[in-house]
Amino acid sequence: MNSSKDPFLELSERPVRFEAVNQVTNVFFDDSNKQVFAVRSGGTMGVVVKGPTEDAPPINFRMEDRGPVISIKFSLDQSILAVQRTKTSVEFMIFNGNIIEGEFSQGCKKNTAILGFVWTQTNEVALITDHGVELYLLIPEKKLVKHLKTTTTVIQWFVWCPTNKIALLASSHGSHLQPVVFKPGTISKLAKVETEPGRMTLERDVTLATLYEIPAILILRHQSGPQTAEVHIHMLNGPGQAPVRSHILRLNLTGRFAINVVDDLILVHHQASKTSQVYDISLSDESDGTVTYHKSVTLPRSLKPTTLPVPGLVEPQSHECELYSPNWVVFQPNIVIDAKLGCLWHIKLCLTTLCSQITDLALCTQLALKRTTGKSVLLQLLLDHILLPKPSLFKLQESFNHINSVYRIWAEAEIQMQTASPVSAPPPSKPPAPPRVLISQSDIYYNILQKLMNNDEHLQNLEWALTCYITSLSEYCIPTELLLNELLIKTLVQRHKFTALMQLLQYGIVADSKPLACLLLSLGNLHPSASQLAMDMLVRLSANEEIQEVLISQGQLLSAFKFSQETATPRKFLQAAENLKDPILFHSMLYCFRSNHQYDNSFLQDERLHSFIKHYRTLFPEKAIGDR
């Protein structure tokens, strides 16, 4: 069992190592390709490019020293190297593996200064200046740059999101924030971000991220006075929709923060306390109808300690890294770089440890259902809870409801996609993406219930789990599979819970079916009421033939005949009556068939019945057939 103080966040064991910043070497990071550039002496002593993982082969090349490098990035296909050395132009170098084969450049418009540049497409680059955005098309085979579009606006700083091709342009000391989105050959302005009037925003306090497939702007707000800091989240839902503030994260701390996103969980790192908090905007804590307020899903915890191997004279040594170092710089979604140490890490989440520190099972369920690795963690979490001496059945039921809600929505979407539509109807859109965690009845049976079946000590827990789960399935109108209904009936009969079983059948929690009725009949030797429950189920199903067979097997021939005399077979009934060695019953059965309107005198002429007529005359030599 994980300790409540175990770290649930850790840095990758094998970081990307690069030459640390020193008097000769400058380090740059390209957040589009996730590459680190170590530039020695302006490039004359070599440039080494590493990333995005430790296994990626490094790229080595040399450049002419034409002055200090401000920014350096490869195009998205690694075929062009872009270098900014001045505020007025960007150099482009045709790159072939490790050789620069040709160069050309592009300057910005007159009386403007380049704040930075971004690759928006494989062959398109945007120069972001203090007076707007200039979009260019590169034609490397001709060493040409073609102007595509310009937008004019005063810009003091910008933040770039390569995933969504969105730049956030800040003016008026960050009090005006304008998102723009890049598509091939175009720049489109989105609605401005509504910020607090007159409130300045610093570049370091803004994060562009993707939360549940929706672009989002996260703004760190340092409150005045005794109030603690908050993160205000503006979702960019689509063109024409204003990015209204919809979520606020309450940090309950003040000081310096940094933000990462891992698996749609927002990680807020606090340098002073050397801890991190985890937020999930899909969980609702408190809302005023417009903004949803969130608290950390668990108490703040520090990252797991990490070390780096250091060569030693005799044997390798290890160096323990300083966590939450002032030298750390974070990039999205989960990158931490220490340029002075020469390391790039990826932050990883241990979902099992995180869930072990959350006491609310339903909250854990909601959390795990949204995580890419949540299925196995959630199934184990449910099993552990069920095995508790006194599990909370209310929380267990609530967890099953969350699971089945996801399953129901997915099942309805699948049915809708498979339903035939009229020829005139528009073609269906692409199928919706399946949920990250989809738990079926088979998953519950084989991963949880089956592990409780063969242990008498767990029978009560098995009963609780089955009852909660099948009740939840019923609430969400999901038909219960036979495997589960059979297991529930066997468990309740074994525990002599016939009243509970009767109630489940009466209220339709366990759906009627012929196989279940047969199962109840087979359990009749354990308790007589099981047979009666089976008969009641068959009556509700109008299973007349099956009822007839049951009554015959129980020797209740007259009841069986009265129940379905139109389909009664004389040979079957008479054979059963003869086997019971009850002369009066045999006489009664023969009379029933003889007096029934559908059997005339030909009944006595049926050769297949001669043996029964002969048997009757042996039993009652003084009576004619049909006499009462």
529-535 CB contacts, 8 Å cutoff, 24+ apart: 529/498, 529/502, 530/493, 530/498, 533/498, 533/501, 533/502, 533/505
| Tokens at 530, concatenated | 């099981």
Please report the pLDDT score of residue 596 as a whole number. 62
Instruction: Evaluate whether 606 touches 615 at the Cβ level (below 8 Å).
Output: no
Per-residue pLDDT reduced to its tens digit, 106-152: 999 999 999 999 999 999 999 999 999 999 999 999 999 999 999 99
Q: What is the mean pLDDT of the chain?
A: 86
Q: Comparing 228-232, 285-289, 353-357, which segment has the lowest mean pLDDT?
A: 285-289
Q: Give the model's pLDDT for residue 134.
A: 97
Strands 124-129 and 132-139: antiparallel
Under a CB-based contact definition with an 8 Å cutoff, are residues 399 and 386 in contact? no
More confident residue, 165 or 589: 165
Alpha helices per DSSP H over 541-569: 544-553, 557-563
- Give residue 173's pLDDT: 79
Q: At what angle do helices 610-619 and 570-579 cross, to 10 degrees?
A: 40
Beta strands in 21-121 (DSSP E): 25-30, 35-40, 47-50, 59-61, 71-74, 80-84, 89-96, 99-107, 114-121
Q: What is the pTM of this model?
A: 0.83
Instruction: Tell me the CA distances in angstroms from 419 to 412, 414, 422, 440, 577, one per residue in order.
Output: 10, 9, 10, 22, 53
Q: Is the dihedral of CA 110, 116, 121, 123 positive or negative?
A: positive
pLDDT of residue 227: 81
E strand or H helix that includes residue 493 = helix 482-494
DSSP class of 427 = P
CB atoms within 10 A of CB 442: 11
Helix (H) or strand (E) holding 146: strand 144-152
Q: What is the mean pLDDT of residues 540-547?
A: 73
DSSP string, 150-177: EEE---SEEEEETTTTEEEEEETTTTEE
* Inter-residue contact 274 to 331 (CB < 8 Å): no
Task: Calculate ∠ Cα 95-187-265, nearest 5°.
Answer: 85
- Look at residue 1 in the predicted model and tell me its pLDDT: 46
pLDDT in tens, 569-621: 777 777 777 777 777 777 777 777 766 655 555 566 666 677 777 777 777 77
Q: Please check whether residue 95 is in contact with residue 61, taking contact to mean a CB–CB distance below 8 angstroms.
A: yes
Pairing of strands 292-294, 245-250: parallel
Which tokens is 349 given? 């989440």
Residue 506 has pLDDT above 70, yes or no: yes
